[in-house]
């Protein structure tokens, strides 16, 4: 399975290696999409080709029984979201701008890579369109170092673009299939029918995780990261809130579930990567050096974006310090639409295939 840039960031941080190398990005010029399954994807994999969870003998208290503190009117914001009515249409479209920061292999400067990803839910299955926007030094000091190095071309984190196809200005259209992403998925009817109560929602998501094998123990000797039930629920919640046509009342239940997970907390006056202020639900995945922040608009209850901040000291070669922004998703717009995705001429929506267009 292809991993996205944030996966590779996390691997580098954990191993103490350089952020990424040209070899690890060979053939990839834009951030690789965390690709969903043919039915609506609900769970991203974190840092390995396959992720398994070992079910221990210790009883786990359901997260919904641990009610979080509610600074800044969290309950009121979520209640308002739950009351919203949306009329489903034929297509769902979620437009997200992603950014990833770090230091390319063997360089002295940090860069920021931006891309636009549009997630479509269609009657024929999902469509993910990714367009690289730009790669540039993060700060003025980084730009000086980049220019001193000869201002080499940047294809994502590959300096000089050696060995990769330069896809700047072009869009990759991808039509996922089940075998490319071994994680939980929901059909459209299942998604629209998810429980609106956080207790029942958590139970249903865990039941689905188990039935589809996401909670199976790893094979003997397998070198994989192991995620807890709570970590899987958090990651599932992120997808339900940012990429999928989840009904408002279910989104409200997802927020309540996530805020009650062990280690989660609410932060007032948090900001997304664009500087927009909101209320954030904050949590770290086990063994992850990054703290994940889900920033919510106080007026609508919609998610403005997600940020990943460095939460513990990292090797100097990564170029990131505690408190630095490592990656972010900025949600530009999402909602139901009557317009289908416009595919390039000659591109046919076929599961497991992809097309490259202007």
Q: How far is CA 252 from CA 24, 48, 157, 247, 259, in A?
A: 39, 30, 37, 9, 11
Cα–Cα distance between 74 and 223 in angstroms, integer?
Answer: 40
Cα–Cα distance between 110 and 102 in angstroms, integer?
Answer: 5
pLDDT tens, the chain, 358 aa long: 334 444 444 444 433 333 333 333 333 333 333 343 333 333 333 333 333 322 222 333 333 334 444 455 899 999 999 999 999 999 999 999 999 999 999 999 999 999 999 999 998 889 999 999 999 999 999 999 999 999 999 988 999 988 887 777 899 999 986 434 445 678 888 888 999 999 999 999 999 888 887 777 777 766 567 789 999 999 999 999 998 899 999 999 999 999 999 999 999 989 999 999 999 999 999 999 999 999 999 999 999 999 999 999 999 889 999 999 999 999 999 999 999 999 999 999 998 899 999 8
Cβ atoms 309, 326 nearer than 8 A: yes
Give pLDDT, residue 214.
77
Cβ contacts of residue 221 below 8 Å, gap of 6+?
Answer: none
Cβ atoms 332, 97 nearer than 8 A: yes
Burial label, 126 (beta-carbon count in 10 A; 0-12, 13-18, 19+): buried
Give pLDDT, residue 166.
74
Reported pTM: 0.79
Cα–Cα distance between 38 and 317 in angstroms, integer?
Answer: 38
Q: Other C-beta atoms within 10 Å of 88: how many?
A: 12
């Amino acid at each position: 399975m292809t991993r996205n840039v944030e996966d590779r960031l996390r691997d580098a941080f954990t191993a103490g290696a350089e952020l990424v190398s040209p070899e690890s990005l060979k053939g990839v010029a834009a951030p690789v999409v965390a690709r969903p399954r043919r039915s609506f994807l609900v769970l991203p994999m974190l840092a390995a080709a396959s992720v398994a969870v070992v079910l221990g003998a210790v009883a786990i208290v359901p997260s919904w029984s641990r009610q979080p503190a509610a600074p800044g009117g969290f309950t009121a914001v979520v209640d308002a979201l739950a009351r919203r009515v949306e009329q489903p249409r034929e297509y769902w479209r979620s437009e997200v701008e992603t950014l990833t920061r770090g230091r390319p292999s063997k360089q002295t400067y940090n860069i920021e890579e931006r891309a636009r990803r549009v997630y479509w839910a269609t009657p024929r299955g999902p469509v993910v369109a990714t367009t690289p926007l730009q790669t540039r030094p993060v700060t003025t000091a980084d730009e000086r170092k980049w220019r001193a190095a000869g201002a080499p071309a940047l294809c994502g984190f590959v300096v000089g673009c050696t060995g990769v196809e330069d896809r700047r200005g072009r869009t990759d259209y991808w039509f996922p299939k089940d075998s490319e992403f071994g994680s939980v998925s929901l059909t459209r009817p299942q998604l629209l029918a998810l429980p609106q109560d956080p207790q029942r929602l958590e139970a249903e998501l865990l039941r689905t995780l188990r039935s589809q094998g996401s909670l199976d123990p790893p094979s003997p000797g397998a070198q994989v990261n192991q995620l807890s039930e709570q970590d899987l629920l958090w990651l599932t919640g992120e997808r339900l809130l940012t990429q999928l046509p989840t009904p408002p009342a279910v989104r409200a239940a997802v927020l309540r579930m996530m805020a009650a997970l062990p280690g989660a907390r609410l932060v007032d006056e948090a900001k997304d990567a664009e500087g927009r202020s909101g209320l954030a639900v904050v949590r770290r995945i086990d063994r992850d050096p990054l703290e994940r922040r889900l920033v919510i608009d106080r007026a609508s209850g919609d998610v403005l974006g997600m940020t990943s901040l460095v939460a513990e000291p990292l090797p100097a070669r990564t170029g990131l310090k505690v408190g630095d922004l490592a990656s972010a998703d900025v949600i530009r717009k999402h909602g139901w639409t009557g317009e289908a995705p416009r595919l390039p001429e000659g591109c046919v929506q076929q599961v497991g295939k992809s097309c490259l267009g202007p």
